[in-house]
């Protein structure tokens, strides 16, 4: 699929939001992301799309199957002299902001675009989240990430796209007393945009996860446009367990980061995986390795899984056997050990999964472990051939911070409709 529209991607992460626009055929002027591992993952995925569109997908398949290392993979891609995948930029500072903008404008000519049609992205959400502010109120109030949205506004002013998409956690509406939310609206309106923001549910896009994001959409105020009607939360058609049926059973510490076989053929995998192209016929299973856990944590996992599977009740931390209550804080954050609901939607996959996995426990008591990278990625609706670069901790962080690709594609479809109305 090809689109005539060009997108500038701010605070890209590992590319969850970008993936939806890639799949819808948008061209990328640039991706801007601070973290080097997320940037590498995004580069890998951008190369995948370029190779797929040019009938050279085998090079990518050879890479994720372990036949090529990353240097050779990139070298082989460069030798094809395909159109640019989009300029990759690092962290934005006041000192490099102007230079970065000039580089992007130069790159627009390389991809044969006169201007940026749509700008997308959202800065790191930890400082805006209600949970983050609850744990560290003083630190979060003074966190410099509170003000990264100003770079978004600066690029919006400079590139003057027809539309923009700004996404974040719902907690941004109350962060710093609501000033950030209101200031973003005022700044965007000052530069000629009409802005609307609504809470959007990932489940409305068939993501098997109870995840909410606030999606700001802005368009130049001379256009007669309206905010898209995104789908609401539908009845459950596929439980989370549908995501796991073709994955090898693992005990804590088992599995591999490298390419391995599924436990079922593509035709015997769940209808969900087939319908939404999570798993394709020629995929290999990658990044399905379970964390190791100590005996104490495994016994806690056993207790909370039993409680959930037998009674559908969450076992709070202060309800564990006294010998397992080693934390001093027994009055708050009592759901620190939480089982994924295999019969329903999962609770939201967050970047916290990079720390220990206790909040994302596999529902199968016979596996007795936390989620693998691939399981977390599937809950987020990432395709199985999406390779996350960096350490396993970095991979979890990238997945937890991402916009689910199925949700992103739904947004991209509506943005393309809006652009078709005005251009």
Task: Return d(Cα 168, Cα 133) in angstroms, integer.
Answer: 15
pLDDT for residue 111 is more than 80: yes
Task: Return d(Cα 6, Cα 38) in angstroms, integer.
Answer: 22
Global pTM value: 0.93
Task: Return d(Cα 359, Cα 247) in angstroms, integer.
Answer: 21
Are 87 and 29 in contact by the 8 Å Cβ rule? The answer is yes
pLDDT tens-digit profile of 343-379?
999 999 999 999 999 999 999 999 999 999 999 999 9
Fill in the DSSP letter of residue 264.
S
Write out the DSSP string of 380-420. Answer: TT--TT-PPPS-HHHHHHHHHHSPPHHHHHHHHHHHHHHHH
What per-residue string of b and e applies to 294-315 under the rule 16 or more CB within 10 Å gives b? eeebebbbebbbebbeeeeeeb
pLDDT tens-digit profile of 119-173?
999 988 655 544 543 455 554 445 545 679 999 999 999 999 999 999 999 989 9
- Which of the residue ranges 21-25, 144-148, 223-227, 361-365 would you say has the lowest mean pLDDT? 144-148
The catalytic residue among 7, 51, 125, 165 is: 125
pLDDT tens-digit profile of 253-276?
999 999 999 999 998 989 999 999
* pLDDT of 125: 60
User: Can you tell me the mean pLDDT for 13-41?
Assistant: 96
pLDDT tens-digit profile of 290-320?
999 999 999 999 999 999 999 999 999 888 8
Query: Is 125 annotated in the active site?
Result: yes
Q: Tell me the C-alpha to C-alpha distance, in Å, between residue 347 and each of 210, 211, 316.
A: 5, 7, 16
* pLDDT of 233: 76
Per the model's pLDDT, the better-predicted residue between 129 and 74 turns out to be 74
User: Can you tell me the mean pLDDT for 79-88?
Assistant: 93
């Amino acid at each position: 699929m090809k689109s005539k529209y060009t997108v500038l991607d701010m605070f890209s992460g590992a590319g969850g939001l970008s993936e939806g626009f890639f799949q819808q055929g948008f061209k990328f002027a640039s991706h801007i992301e601070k973290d080097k591992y997320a940037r590498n993952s995004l580069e890998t995925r951008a190369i995948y799309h370029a190779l797929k569109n040019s009938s050279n997908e085998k090079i990518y398949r050879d890479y994720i199957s372990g036949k090529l290392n990353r240097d050779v993979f990139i070298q082989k891609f460069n030798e094809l002299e395909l159109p640019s995948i989009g300029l990759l930029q690092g962290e934005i500072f006041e000192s490099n902001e102007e230079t970065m903008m000039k580089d992007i404008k130069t790159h627009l000519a390389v991809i044969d675009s006169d201007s940026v049609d749509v700008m997308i992205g959202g800065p790191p959400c930890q400082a805006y989240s209600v949970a983050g502010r609850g744990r560290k109120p003083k630190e979060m109030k003074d966190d410099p990430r509170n003000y990264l949205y100003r770079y978004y506004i600066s690029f919006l002013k400079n590139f003057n796209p027809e539309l923009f998409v700004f996404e974040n956690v719902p907690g941004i509406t109350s962060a710093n007393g609501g000033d950030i939310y209101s200031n973003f609206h005022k700044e965007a309106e000052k530069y000629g945009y009409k802005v609307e923001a609504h809470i959007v549910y990932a489940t409305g896009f068939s993501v098997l996860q109870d995840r909410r994001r606030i999606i700001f959409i802005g368009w130049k105020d001379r256009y007669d446009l309206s905010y898209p009607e995104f789908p609401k939360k539908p009845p459950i058609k596929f439980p989370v367990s549908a995501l796991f049926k073709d994955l090898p059973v693992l005990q804590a510490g088992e599995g591999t980061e490298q390419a391995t076989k599924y436990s079922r053929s593509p035709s015997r995998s769940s209808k969900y995986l087939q319908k939404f192209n999570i798993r394709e016929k020629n995929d290999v299973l990658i990044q399905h390795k379970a964390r190791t856990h100590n005996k104490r944590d495994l016994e806690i996992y056993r207790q909370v899984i039993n409680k959930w599977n037998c009674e559908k009740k969450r076992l709070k931390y202060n309800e564990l056997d006294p010998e397992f209550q080693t934390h001093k804080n027994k009055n708050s954050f009592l759901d620190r050990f939480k089982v994924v609901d295999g019969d329903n939607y999962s609770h939201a996959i967050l970047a916290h999964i990079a720390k220990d996995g206790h909040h994302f426990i596999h529902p199968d008591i016979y596996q007795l472990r936390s989620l693998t990278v691939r399981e977390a990625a599937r809950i987020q609706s990432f395709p199985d051939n999406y390779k996350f670069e960096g350490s396993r901790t970095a991979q979890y962080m990238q997945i937890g911070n991402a916009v689910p690709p199925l949700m992103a594609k739904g947004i991209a479809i509506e943005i393309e409709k809006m652009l078709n109305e005005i251009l």
